Amino acid sequence: MTRPLIIAIDGPAASGKGTLAKRIAAHYGLRYLDTGTLYRAVARDVLAANGDLRDAVAATAVARNLDPDTLDDPFLRDRGVGEAASIVARIPEVRDTILQYQRDFAATPPGAVIDGRDIGTIVCPDASAKLFVTATLQERARRRYHELRAKTFDVTRDQVEGEIRNRDRRDLEREVAPLAQAEDAVLLETTDLDIEAAFQAALLAIEGLLER
Ligand code: CDP
């Protein structure tokens, strides 16, 4: 049996990984998993039960009962949910619970494009190709601000920038599976690239990695 093709895409908040990953998945005919959605869904379900986001026992129980059919809930993209997700994402037992789901998804033929923070380092260290997508804080804040405003959220650019800075700090500094570029990942700096240019640069990098 041919090995599933796994493309790991990591990077900080609002770096454009999701948009890129979806296009790459379509290009190669692969399935796509946005792992941030899993942490966002755990946070949503903890809050819905009036639980405490820092309560490891409660959050882990919620993670074990996560219903994959609820992952397309538009509420998961709400502003506060990303922040809440980065709080539950620090809990090792929550990460362990979600780990197998992600690995099973990746291993299912024909393979997958998976985006997150720890895909190249922890979830799929043997991925066929790894990218680390980034952009300056100001550019990421600008992109997320426009995304939120399109949904008519009442928010300022400064608020968005502050929230992204907080979340980056939490993701970089946590003890388990922090946001990190895998040693064998290609860095894609997208500050000056539009979506099409970033997509072309990503394809070029992936083709180079697959040829090795
Ligand atoms: O879309 P955006 O970049 O804003 O965030 P996301 O990818 O939906 O992730 C939301 C939060 O989930 C992140 O800030 C991380 O704290 C957490 N996360 C994680 O810890 N590990 C992953 N593989 C993916 C997300």
Task: Parse the chain into domains and list their residue ranges.
Answer: 5-202
Q: What pLDDT, on a 0 to 100 scale, did the predictor assign at position 174?
A: 94
Which is nearest to 35 in space by CA: 140, 136, 121, 113?
Answer: 113
Looking at ligand 1, which atom is closest to the CA of residue 171? 16
Assign domain 5-202 to its CATH superfamily: P-loop containing nucleotide triphosphate hydrolases (3.40.50.300)
* Residue to substitute in 15, 32, 39, 118 for testing ligand 1 pocket (most ligand atoms within 8 angstroms of CB): 39
Q: What pLDDT, on a 0 to 100 scale, did the predictor assign at position 1?
A: 59
CA of 14 to the centre of ligand 1 (A): 9
**List of E strands, the chain:** 5-10, 31-34, 111-116, 129-134, 186-189
Alpha-carbon distance of 12 to 136, in angstroms, equals: 10
Q: What pLDDT, on a 0 to 100 scale, did the predictor assign at position 169?
A: 94
Alpha-carbon distance of 156 to 163, in angstroms, equals: 11
Q: What pLDDT, on a 0 to 100 scale, did the predictor assign at position 195?
A: 94
Alpha-carbon distance of 78 to 207, in angstroms, equals: 35
**Are 7 and 206 contacting, i.e. CB atoms less than 8 angstroms apart?**
yes
Is 82 near ligand 1, meaning CB less than 6 Å away? yes
- The secondary element (H helix, E strand) that includes residue 37 is helix 35-48
pTM exceeds cut of 0.85: yes
Average pLDDT value for the chain: 95
Cis upstream peptide for 12 (omega within 30°): no
Residue having the nearest C-alpha atom to atom 8 of ligand 1: 36
Residue having the nearest C-alpha atom to atom 15 of ligand 1: 86
Say if residue 11's pLDDT is above 70. Answer: yes
Residue having the nearest C-alpha atom to atom 9 of ligand 1: 36
Is 174 near ligand 1, meaning CB less than 6 Å away? no
Looking at ligand 1, which atom is closest to the CA of residue 168? 14
Is 10 near ligand 1, meaning CB less than 6 Å away? no
Q: What pLDDT, on a 0 to 100 scale, did the predictor assign at position 54?
A: 97
12 Cβ contact list (under 8 Å, min separation 6):
117, 134, 140, 164, 168, 171, 179
Exposed (0-12), middle (13-18) or buried (19+): which is 12, by Cβ within 10 Å?
buried
Q: What pLDDT, on a 0 to 100 scale, did the predictor assign at position 151?
A: 83
